C-alpha cells in the first residue's frame, strides 16, 4: 500500500536540506540493463527516490572562469547529494523500518567494455521520477533549470506514489547547437552519442595517462577511476553553454554562447 505520510516526510526531509525530490516506482524500470536495475541495489525494491540539485547557470557565462566554476560546482554538489542520500536511507530505515540503499551520485562506477556505468542510471531515474525529459545533449532537461540539475538517489522497499512523468521534446525543433559546438565531435551523422569521445575530451586527470599506458593499467581502470580518479579536471562545457534551455528565461542574447575562454 502507498504510504502518503511517508512520502510527505521524505519531501520535508529533502526540502529542509535544499534538494528537489521525485518518486519513481520500480515498475518504471522494467527495461533497465542487466545489473543496473533498482532490484540489484536493494532487496524488495519498490521505489527510487531521486534527489536533485541545480547548478547556477551564471557559471556558463562567466567572462573568464566558466570551467573553474563548473569544476568546483560538480565536485561540491556530488558529495552533498551522496551525504543526503545516506541520511535519507538511514531516515527511512529508522523511521519507517524499511531497507534503503543510497545510490552514488557519480563514482563508484562499474566498467563495461571500457565504458563507465553508474550502478543505476540516475539520468533515467530522474526522467522516471518526473524531473524532465532527455534533450539532444543526452542530459535531462527540467522546465525551470534546463540541463543544470545533478542527481542522487535512494532505492527503498517502501512503496511511494510515483510523480507524473513528463512527455515532451524539450529542444526547439531545428536546434542542434550542442552537436555543432561539440569539441570532440561526439555526435555522428546519425546523431548517436559517443560517450567515450566526450570523456576523452572532457575528463582530465593526472593519473589517467599512467593508468591507460599498458594492459595492467587498462584492467585496473575501474579501481583508478573509483579512487584517485574521482576528482577529475573538467575540460569542456560547450554543449551546456550553447544550449538555449540553460540561458536566463528572459535572455535572448545568446550570452552563454559567447566565446568565453574555457578556463
105, 137, 156, 256: residue in contact with ligand SF4 (rule CB under 6 A): 137
Closer by beta carbon to ligand SF4, 89 or else 182? 182
Per-residue x/- mask for ligand SF4, residues 139 to 178, rule CB under 6 A? --------------------------------xx--xxxx
Q: Of the candidates 180, 104, 100, 95, which has an alpha carbon nearest to the alpha carbon of residue 136? A: 180
Closer by beta carbon to ligand SF4, 121 or else 256? 256
Q: Which of residues 222-251 bind ligand SF4 (CB under 6 A)?
A: 236, 238-239, 242-245
Closer by beta carbon to ligand SF4, 55 or else 177? 177
CB-based contact 184:236 (threshold 8 Å): yes
Closer by beta carbon to ligand SF4, 119 or else 171? 171
CA distances from 195 to 114, 137, 199 (A): 11, 11, 6
Report in angstroms how near the CB of residue 172 gets to ligand SF4 at its nearest. Answer: 6
Q: What distance in Å separates the CA atoms of residue 55 and residue 136, rounded to the nearest whole number?
A: 19
CA distances from 179 to 26, 143, 170, 194, 239 (A): 33, 21, 15, 11, 7
Q: Show Cβ contacts of residue 230 under 8 Å, excluding neighbours closer than 6 positions.
A: 106, 107
Residues of the shown chain interacting with ligand SF4 in the complex, contacts defined by CB under 6 A = 135-137, 171-172, 175-178, 181-184, 186, 198, 201-202, 236, 238-239, 242-245
Amino acid at each position: 500500500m502507498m504510504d502518503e505520510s511517508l512520502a510527505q516526510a521524505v519531501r520535508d526531509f529533502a526540502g529542509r536540506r535544499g534538494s528537489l525530490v521525485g518518486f519513481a516506482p520500480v515498475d518504471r524500470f522494467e527495461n533497465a540493463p542487466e545489473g543496473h536495475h533498482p532490484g540489484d541495489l536493494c532487496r524488495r525494491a519498490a521505489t527510487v527516490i531521486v534527489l536533485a540539485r541545480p547548478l547556477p547557470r551564471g557559471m556558463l557565462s562567466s567572462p573568464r572562469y566558466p570551467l573553474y566554476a563548473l569544476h568546483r560546482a560538480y565536485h561540491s554538489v556530488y558529495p552533498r547529494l551522496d551525504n543526503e542520500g545516506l541520511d535519507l536511507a538511514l531516515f527511512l530505515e529508522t523511521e519507517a523500518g524499511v531497507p534503503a540503499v543510497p545510490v552514488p551520485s557519480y563514482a563508484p562506477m562499474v566498467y563495461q567494455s571500457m565504458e563507465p556505468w553508474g550502478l543505476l542510471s540516475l539520468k533515467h531515474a530522474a526522467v522516471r521520477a518526473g524531473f524532465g525529459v532527455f534533450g539532444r545533449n543526452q542530459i535531462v532537461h527540467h522546465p525551470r533549470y534546463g540541463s543544470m540539475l545533478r542527481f542522487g538517489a535512494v532505492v527503498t522497499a517502501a512503496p511511494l506514489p510515483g510523480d507524473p512523468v513528463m512527455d515532451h521534446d524539450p529542444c526547439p525543433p531545428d536546434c542542434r547547437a550542442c552537436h555543432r559546438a561539440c569539441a570532440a565531435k561526439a555526435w555522428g551523422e546519425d546523431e548517436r552519442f559517443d560517450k567515450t569521445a566526450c570523456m576523452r575530451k572532457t575528463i582530465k586527470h593526472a593519473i589517467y595517462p599512467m593508468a591507460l599506458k599498458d594492459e595492467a593499467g587498462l584492467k585496473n581502470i575501474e579501481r583508478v577511476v573509483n579512487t584517485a580518479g574521482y576528482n577529475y579536471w573538467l575540460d569542456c562545457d560547450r554543449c551546456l553553454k550553447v544550449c538555449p534551455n540553460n540561458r536566463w528565461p528572459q535572455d535572448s542574447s545568446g550570452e552563454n554562447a559567447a566565446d568565453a575562454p574555457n578556463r
